[in-house]
């Protein structure tokens, strides 16, 4: 994936949330990429400071963004 054609479809507080979104997208054959936005505790040398890897962006190809956002909205509506 080239960064130039990627768009953010979700911004979440931790890695587990980002991984759940990626799993949903993968189920529907939409490739995605996670990007860590804030440093995590282990990256700073503090193992207990935010061990879940900090805030993350989930991005997809621009031409799949609308479909991906619709899936997320549908999933949020069923919880």
Would you say residue 17 has pLDDT above 90? Answer: yes
What is the reported pLDDT for 22? Answer: 97
Locate all alpha helices (DSSP H) within 28-77, ordered by sequence: 41-44, 65-77
The range of the structural domain enclosing residue 40 comes to 3-74
20-51 pLDDT per residue, tens: 999 999 999 999 999 988 765 555 555 555 55
User: What mean pLDDT is reported for the chain?
Assistant: 84
What is the reported pLDDT for 63? Answer: 95
Q: Give the domain CATH number at 38.
A: 3.30.70
Cα(7)–Cα(71) distance, rounded to whole angstroms?
15
User: Would you say residue 79 lies in a domain?
Assistant: no
Confidence of residue 6 (pLDDT cuts 50, 70, 90): very high
Tell me how many domains the chain contains.
1
* Termini Cα distance of the chain: 31
């Amino acid at each position: 994936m080239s960064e130039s054609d990627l768009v953010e479809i979700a911004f979440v507080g931790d890695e587990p949330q980002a991984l759940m979104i990626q799993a949903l997208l993968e189920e529907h054959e939409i490739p995605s990429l996670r990007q860590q936005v804030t440093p995590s505790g282990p990256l700073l040398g503090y193992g207990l400071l935010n061990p879940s890897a900090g805030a993350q962006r989930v991005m997809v190809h621009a031409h799949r963004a609308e479909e991906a956002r619709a899936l997320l909205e549908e999933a949020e509506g069923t919880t």
